[in-house]
């Protein structure tokens, strides 16, 4: 797979360094807004997921009627209806949806952490295996901390993840923009 950035001449990106920095600053500002009200950031996250589910559901439903055999139509219609209902639920009750999504996030972190621990132990003969093991332990602990605080933390945990992501993406773009300027 060819990376699009590999095809861009460095000079073309260098000429646009200011856009990278500006986008980074915008993302940093959004992260501070999100950190300022984690509940609202959580609701925004839920609405975003809900919007994606609605769009996906509608696409599934439209696609279902492009299929000509009944056995396949039924599968696509059911999938489309489930996506659409999930999207509607996200808009109808964002607090309940954030509770469900937070629990899914916690379970996912625990499972991913356990898998990383397993991989780290299997790589014991390789240099650096301890870092993979350490990363797995931290991921499991993050999932367990979320489960311990659940469902109360579901009012802010998704917003905090959004704010942290916006913060790191913002700094990354600012650093990238300033580094290609030179």
Per-residue pLDDT 10s for the chain (182 aa) are 555 555 555 677 778 889 999 999 999 999 999 999 999 999 999 999 999 999 999 998 988 888 777 777 888 889 899 999 999 999 999 999 999 999 999 999 999 999 999 998 998 888 888 898 999 999 999 999 999 999 999 999 999 999 999 999 999 999 988 888 87
Radius of gyration of the chain (CA): 21
Q: How many CA atoms lie within 13 A of 55 on its CB side?
A: 6
Question: Which pTM does this prediction carry?
Answer: 0.73
Q: Is the peptide bond before 151 cis (omega within 30 degrees of 0)?
A: yes
């Amino acid at each position: 797979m060819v990376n699009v950035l590999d095809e861009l001449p460095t000079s073309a990106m260098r000429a646009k360094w200011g856009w990278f920095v500006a986008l980074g600053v915008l993302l940093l500002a959004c992260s501070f807004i999100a950190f300022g009200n984690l509940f609202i950031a959580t609701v925004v996250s839920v609405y975003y997921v809900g919007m994606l589910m609605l769009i996906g559901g509608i696409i599934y439903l439209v696609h279902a009627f492009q299929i000509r055999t009944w056995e396949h139509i039924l599968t696509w219609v059911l999938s489309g209806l489930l996506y659409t209902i999930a999207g509607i639920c996200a808009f109808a009750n964002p607090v309940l949806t954030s509770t469900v999504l937070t629990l899914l996030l916690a379970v996912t972190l625990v499972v991913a952490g356990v898998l990383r621990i397993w991989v780290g132990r299997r790589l014991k003969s390789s240099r650096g295996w301890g870092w993979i093991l350490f990363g797995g332990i931290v991921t499991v602990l993050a999932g367990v901390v979320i489960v311990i605080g659940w469902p109360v933390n579901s009012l802010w945990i998704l917003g905090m993840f959004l704010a942290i992501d916006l913060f790191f993406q913002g700094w990354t773009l600012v650093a990238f923009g300033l580094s290609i300027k030179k």
